[in-house]
Chains A and B, each alone.
Chain A
Amino acid sequence: MTLADLDDKQKAIIKEMGDLGDLKRRLMELGVLCGEPVQLVRRSPFGDPLEIKVADTYLAIRKEDAEKIEVEPISQWRRRNRRRGA
């Protein structure tokens, strides 16, 4: 599942950052790192770009870029971790 597939307001954990070119570095510098929680805040009225929230930072990125960021929704992530803990 990618960041672009999340519902509005849904939270997830970043799993993998794909080939984003220069953007990848900048996103990482702004705190978009694997293992960090991320929230899809909203989509622009035209469906693109997307507003995401990482820590206290709100960022706008385009859908095509968000599609390259693999995430796992928090609910699933919790379930799996609970299983692992049991």
Chain B
Amino acid sequence: MISLAFVGNPNTGKTALINAIAGSDLEVGNWPGVTVEKKEAHFVYEGEKISLVDLPGAYTFSPYSIEEKITRNTLAFGKIDGIIDVIDTTNLSRNLYLTLELIDMQKPMVLALNMFDDFTKRGYRLDIQKLEAILGADAIPTVASKGLGAKKLIASAVNAVKARKIPHIQPYQEHIEKEIAFLQKKLARYPNLPYPPRLFSIKLIEGDEFAIELARKAEAEDVIEFAKEARGRLERHMKLPIKTIITRARYEVIDHMLDEVLTKPVVDKVVLSERIDNIVLNRFAAIPIFLVTMFLMFKFTFDASAPLVEWMGDFFDSYVGKYLTLGMDGVAPPWAISLLRDGLVSGVGLVLSFLPLLFILYFFMAILEESGYMARVSFLLDRLASKLGIKGNAFISLIVGFGCNVPAVYSTRTLTSYRERIITMLMIPLMSCSARLPIYALFTALFFTSHQALVIMSLYALGVGVALLIAYIADKILPKSEQKPFLMELPTYHMPTMRAVWALMKPKLEDFIVRAGTLIVAASIVLWAIVNLPAGSRPENSYLATAARSVTPIFKPAGFGDHWEPVAALIPGTLAKEVVIGSLGTIYGVETASSKSGSAKPDFMSDTIDMLRCLKNALINSVLALGHIRIETLQTEREPTPLQVKLKEQFPSPLNAYAYMVFILLYIPCVSTMAAIKQEFGWRWLLFEVAFLPLLAYGFSVAIYQAGLFFAS
């Protein structure tokens, strides 16, 4: 098997390139020991098993974030046969810096000259053959977004590995090379070092802590001393600090190389990206543009997914559920049918009915990410972040959190310090994820008919407000640690292609279906059990009811402590927020639509046609919603569902409902998020969150309910 590592600066289109090569075969796993996503693809190329490893973007071998550390460590310790260095051709000089470090690894290597179309469009010319001759490695022009050059790249990489085609060393000035040679000789006595000797020597001379640590582990103390001497000699000779000497030396090599192979246009035209930023980052327009973008994203997601979500729900309840019951009638005992229909099918239905919403949300987020706008958001909001002890890029995690808290927790690994990660992690559960939306939708449609959108927005705003408050307090309490200063690249804008957007969306959707899916299904079954047990009981004397009844009075000050049912729904709600609605249905004993329509004569054919017709309507409505000509859904005209009737009974006023929604907003988001927090930050933070969030939720819902009562009287 040949394993090829994709390495390159961030935003060079690495993942899109892998996707173009491996198609849908990309598997997402975790790196051993850490929980950073590991993307790998396996396929067979001309009878040879190939494994592609997508390493996180890195600028150099001296890491600034955990992701960069992973890339360095994998290259140093991993079993990598060849390197595919993905380069943003429109920014050659900076990208070649990493290339030089990779060359020093002396492994088979090819260059992917990505974004080659933009490069030529801007009037640049590159003598590729000459570049290949200088580097001793193939350089393949690629356009990852269109899949161009992908085949040739793989062919070339496999060939390089088979022929052991090692790139040429690009020598620095003579006196630096002399020191490198000196050290390499000393290192030769230690055969089992993980780093290749040339790179190791350079890193030791640079005083790189990681390299020194490795040398110490290999008990090569003398080499560390020799490196120190070499460093001293160079610094005295050049009268500059070593880091300056080495970086300068590398850029000199690069400049020299580019003089040979690169032809620049006579007039460098102002890049389109800069003109876009003149508007998007304009001093006065930037913040309004950001807010409107966010608003539109969530509005479109909500509007466009609503008809589809509704259809999915109907499909499972009154179609799958119905025919399942009919098909199994008499074959299986009633309790098994009930488990299957109310436990399993309704669980699966819940997961899938949620899919259109996530699909659309992830689609918009992928566009924002892929186009380069997310980095601008960090730039805009860094000032605010600096007051909270975090940096602008933390807001990207928070925005992701509006979609789903789970990937948001994982995304904190791009932040530069542990302290920033903690503060951001504390904020994430308060970002109202899309799973909470259906609950708001149900309650606001019932209690706030005329101001539905406004009330929902107020909940989002409350979540953000509480998050800012908590971050502010956390920044004051948490011990100050050494900070890496804020630094971020603002990548040039790209027209997002469907291929690249899909590459970003797909793993997230799969993740949801698999991880959240299994969890929600398991939760539905557990829920079915606690609602239906002890055997033969009705919902009101089940285990769940008994447990809920005992704690219900606590919620009196928050306005929903008079009935046990809403409180009971909160318990399964910790498994996944979207379960709350289903639980309410089960707890109230409001049977699914299947039992209602059960009296009508079942006609499989006509029902199937009906379902398809409804799907067509839902799709049309969904598209119309994007164009803002949404035909009002039937919600208001339709007679209230049994669930709505029950809720109307149990929540005496909109204020009670609002306090309940506030509690839903702020208490434990779901077990998946908690699992992610445990994975990333350990048991202590998990336990803290489990204790803290419900208290926070309780405090705010009580405060809001009591304030509401006070002002109402």
A59 in complex: contacting residue of B251, B488, B492, CB < 8 Å = B488
Interface pair B490/A30, CB less than 8 Å apart? no
Residue of A nearest to B274 (CB): A41
Cβ of A78 under 8 Å from chain B: no
A43 CB → nearest B CB, Å? 8
Residues from chain A with Cβ under 8 Å of B60 in the complex = 26, 29
Residues from chain A with Cβ under 8 Å of B382 in the complex = 44, 48-49, 60, 62
Cβ of B173 under 8 Å from chain A: no
Residue of A nearest to B244 (CB): A28
Q: How many residues of A contact B (CB 8 A)?
A: 33
Interface pair B484/A45, CB less than 8 Å apart? no
Residues from chain A with Cβ under 8 Å of B492 in the complex = 58
Interface pair B386/A25, CB less than 8 Å apart? no
Interface pair B62/A60, CB less than 8 Å apart? no
A63 CB → nearest B CB, Å? 9
A window 38-62: CB within 8 A of B: 41-49, 51, 55-62
Please judge, given known A-B contacts A24-B243, A55-B93, whether A49 and B248 are in contact too, CB under 8 Å: no
Interface pair B281/A60, CB less than 8 Å apart? no
Please judge, given known A-B contacts A24-B243, A25-B62, A57-B91, whether A46 and B383 are in contact too, CB under 8 Å: yes
Interface pair A59/B248, CB less than 8 Å apart? no
A27 in complex: contacting residue of B93, B287, B487, CB < 8 Å = B487
A30 in complex: contacting residue of B59, B277, B484, B486, CB < 8 Å = B59
Q: Mark B500-529, 1 if CB is under 8 A from A, else 0.
A: 000000000000000000000000000000
Interface pair A60/B94, CB less than 8 Å apart? no
Interface pair A33/B248, CB less than 8 Å apart? yes
Interface pair B490/A60, CB less than 8 Å apart? yes
CA distance A60 to B248 in the complex (A): 22
Q: Mark B270-285, 1 if CB is under 8 A from A, else 0.
A: 0000100100010110
Cβ of B460 under 8 Å from chain A: no
CA distance A55 to B384 in the complex (A): 29
Interface pair B487/A29, CB less than 8 Å apart? no
Cβ of A65 under 8 Å from chain B: yes
Please judge, given known A-B contacts A26-B64, A33-B248, A56-B94, whether A45 and B283 are in contact too, CB under 8 Å: yes
Residues from chain B with Cβ under 8 Å of A61 in the complex = 485-487
Residues from chain A with Cβ under 8 Å of B248 in the complex = 33
Residue of B nearest to A49 (CB): B382
Interface residues on B, range: 35 or more
Interface pair B384/A56, CB less than 8 Å apart? no
Interface pair A21/B386, CB less than 8 Å apart? no
Q: Which secondary structure dominates where chain B touches chain A? A: helix
Cβ of A20 under 8 Å from chain B: yes
CA distance A22 to B485 in the complex (A): 8
CA distance A42 to B285 in the complex (A): 14
Please judge, given known A-B contacts A60-B488, A62-B486, whether A33 and B247 are in contact too, CB under 8 Å: yes
CA distance A48 to B384 in the complex (A): 10
Interface pair B379/A55, CB less than 8 Å apart? no
B103 CB → nearest A CB, Å? 16
Cβ of B378 under 8 Å from chain A: yes
Residue of B nearest to A28 (CB): B247
B window 250-290: CB within 8 A of A: 251, 274, 277, 281, 283-284, 286-287
Interface pair A45/B380, CB less than 8 Å apart? yes
CA distance A78 to B484 in the complex (A): 35
B606 CB → nearest A CB, Å? 59
A64 CB → nearest B CB, Å? 8
Cβ of A1 under 8 Å from chain B: no
Interface pair B97/A29, CB less than 8 Å apart? yes
Residues from chain B with Cβ under 8 Å of A28 in the complex = 243-244, 247
B window 35-78: CB within 8 A of A: 59-60, 62, 64
Interface pair B90/A59, CB less than 8 Å apart? no
Cβ of B13 under 8 Å from chain A: no
Cβ of B637 under 8 Å from chain A: no
CA distance A31 to B90 in the complex (A): 15
Please judge, given known A-B contacts A44-B382, A49-B382, A49-B383, whether A31 and B488 are in contact too, CB under 8 Å: no
CA distance A58 to B93 in the complex (A): 13
Interface pair A21/B485, CB less than 8 Å apart? yes
B27 CB → nearest A CB, Å? 32
Please judge, given known A-B contacts A26-B487, A33-B247, A60-B486, whether A44 and B59 are in contact too, CB under 8 Å: no
CA distance A34 to B241 in the complex (A): 13
Residues from chain B with Cβ under 8 Å of A57 in the complex = 91, 94, 489
CA distance A41 to B492 in the complex (A): 14
Interface pair B284/A60, CB less than 8 Å apart? no
Please judge, given known A-B contacts A31-B93, A49-B486, A56-B93, whether A25 and B281 are in contact too, CB under 8 Å: no
Q: Which 9 A-B pairs have CB atoms at the shortest separation, nearest pair first?
A: A46-B383, A58-B490, A23-B485, A28-B247, A56-B91, A60-B488, A29-B60, A60-B379, A45-B286
Task: Given contacts A29-B247, A30-B489, A33-B251, list 5 more A-B pairs with CB under 8 A.
Answer: A23-B484, A45-B281, A51-B379, A58-B490, A61-B486
15 A-B contact pairs sorted by A residue (CB < 8 Å): A28-B243, A28-B247, A29-B247, A31-B97, A42-B277, A44-B379, A44-B380, A44-B383, A46-B384, A49-B382, A51-B277, A56-B90, A57-B91, A58-B490, A62-B382
